[in-house]
Structure 1
């Protein structure tokens, strides 16, 4: 059976009037039944490997900002290292903006594509974008390469999450999403510290050579293991973009992007916090990143489990938790124990909220599932861009490297307020129903 054949056979077998839904469900069943359980787990691991590569490319620059600033902005770094680090933070914002632009655009335009084919194209784009980051000579060109590298991010996670949810089977949707996201969280335990070590000792570009190799391996793994799944043959760009007509979509996106901005405001400048605030050596930075990654990994699986129980209850726990963790960071990061403990909880609460927000978006998007699955990552990376930018502004204004923690608390409070408004609308609609 080919990818294009799968939806046609499914539509004939169901006899339902909703052909698009029938095709998606039928194609999902093809993916679920075609392989043995062992083969399906290999497919899930291949998808998680892509998440691992994304985690490394997204977060490794945060631990290497001083190295990047010194290499690409040598004059500014020599005169004012804080300004140079803040300017280098624009690379983080550029990647995040690439995600924001690419996720809904690609997801809507390619919703009809067979999912395996789309995944392979997206991973090939990752290979090209990160290779360009590793070889381009100037700050401006690297800035452009980071934007391009971010374009496939959201669409990859969105489509991979849909495939993983199918492979996991009924009642395990959020856990399927969490499995794909586990690659990203494990990257913060293993990949990002290794990339940071390489970048500190062999030049920051070596970290992006590592990322290029990871994505090349992911491309091979997806081709070899991921089952054939059709897209929705009835989907159109107009139908997918109809999700934006729903107020709950906008409220969820605002809650996620602003609330997550607090974490990124802190984490984007973690390297200078370690050296200039806590007073530890640069060799400790990878250990702090490992701690953050362990928190993310634990939080991700807790979040997937909690979201399958109750999405709203999980959000009411995890979103305020981000702000509380930022508060703890601001109060205790000057000491080594405070730094390690608070960064662990920032990672844990943020990562726990991620699959929960994914499930929330899929709930409120109704039939626009492809774009809903991708929009989560647009929201998170809008938060990445917002947090890195505002954090850089307060640092450049002379408030010090701990100031982004106070920014993070404010953003978290706004995010939780939007969450309460969204859930209040749900309750009123339920009473009217």
Structure 2
């Protein structure tokens, strides 16, 4: 691995813990601030809202700055706003700090994906992007369980102390290891926003928001699935989630290699089709504990196997607007998160089992697959017109 990619991976680690550790800390925060758990859950929504708003706005605001300065600004924002969570005296300031922490999320990954592809050797662009997102997967294997343990046994505020320290290390490594890349100066916002006038751009955004939403149908309700359907004790759930995290690590690198070897669109289509089949298997076979554990690992792997290919796909479709396109993709992932959790919860409201959200996930993954086929067909027709 090139050392210049290490700051991007550390940034991914910081963002990963910041985003996902809140799920495990909700009871502790609710008790400490004397609020209900559903009210504490709004802290998760605040972060997601920050991602959706910050991704395009910050990239547009910094469109003419060199990539290194942009990444430094995002890393400093992330570190400062996480530090604000440490000292937040009540719910309102904590809500604000969570929203502010979400603002640099999409912009960091958006700029970082473009930088990673520029730093990569020829033909290894997707693998370099996968290295950046490896920090996100490591967060789910080590950072989130560790942060949850610290929050349960000491204080949730100490968890944010750890995140802030990792953020500071990210800033230092960016200063020392990230080369100074020239910015591709863009004189007008209109040039950046031209990306959103392309049909292919909206197809890719839809693929991410709907197709990957299938996975969020699974992970949003994985705890009751494991306890009520698979029959595991609640104490074993955190360890099983580590297994899902290990799958994410493997899937992230496999997806990067596949996207370099085959076309990104073909890789995305293949992963989404396998995802639909896998989620159907989760619905049918989660009653068997051994099969359930295997499916946890495989589903975790599929959840990140699609990340690098879809990043390459949108960069290729956004000539001249790569950074805002890549940042918008992060907003699309968060949209998929919200849609998957909401739509996956509908059958539960109707009284169906905790395995039923996975059937919604199958439908969403298949919808993403069909949309990917439309995109591939459009690309083939465009290539034929060029050669004609």
State the TM-score, normalizing by the size of structure 2.
0.90
In the other structure, the counterpart of 2:340 is 387
**RMSD of the TM alignment (CA)?**
2.5
Tell me, what secondary structure is at the counterpart of 1:151?
helix
CA contact (8 A) 1:168 1:176 kept: yes
Shift of 1:378: 1.7
Shift of 1:242: 0.8
1:361 aligns with 2:303: no
In the other structure, the counterpart of 2:6 is 45
Shift of 1:253: 0.5
CA contact (8 A) 2:130 2:256 kept: yes
Match of 1:407 among 348, 352, 360: 360
In the other structure, the counterpart of 1:421 is 374
- 1:358-381 per-position Cα deviation (integer Å, ceiling 9, x unaligned): 111011112211212222212212
Shift of 1:256: 0.7
Q: Which runs of 5+ in 1 are unaligned?
A: 1-39, 78-83
CA contact (8 A) 1:63 1:286 kept: no
State the TM-score, normalizing by the size of structure 1.
0.81
- 1:272-330 per-position Cα deviation (integer Å, ceiling 9, x unaligned): 44445444344323322211111111111111111112212211211122222322223
CA distance in 1, matches of 2:31, 2:292: 25
1:164 aligns with 2:125: no
CA distance in 1, matches of 2:307, 2:8: 17
In the other structure, the counterpart of 1:343 is 296
In the other structure, the counterpart of 1:54 is 15
Q: Which runs of 5+ in 2 are unaligned?
A: none
- 1:206-261 per-position Cα deviation (integer Å, ceiling 9, x unaligned): 43332222112211221122111232223432211110010100000011111111
- 1:182-228 per-position Cα deviation (integer Å, ceiling 9, x unaligned): 11112222212212222333344443332222112211221122111
Match of 1:198 among 150, 153, 165: 150
1:67-78 matches, cutoff 5 A: 67-68=28-29
CA contact (8 A) 1:64 1:271 kept: no
CA distance in 1, matches of 2:235, 2:53: 35
In the other structure, the counterpart of 1:173 is 125
- 1:325-384 per-position Cα deviation (integer Å, ceiling 9, x unaligned): 322223333443233222212221121111100111011112211212222212212112
Match of 2:277 among 310, 324, 331: 324
CA contact (8 A) 2:63 2:186 kept: no
Tell me, what secondary structure is at the counterpart of 1:152?
helix
1:110 aligns with 2:62: yes
Q: How many positions carry a matched residue from both structures?
A: 385
In the other structure, the counterpart of 1:226 is 178
Match of 2:160 among 208, 231, 242: 208
CA distance in 1, matches of 2:44, 2:276: 21
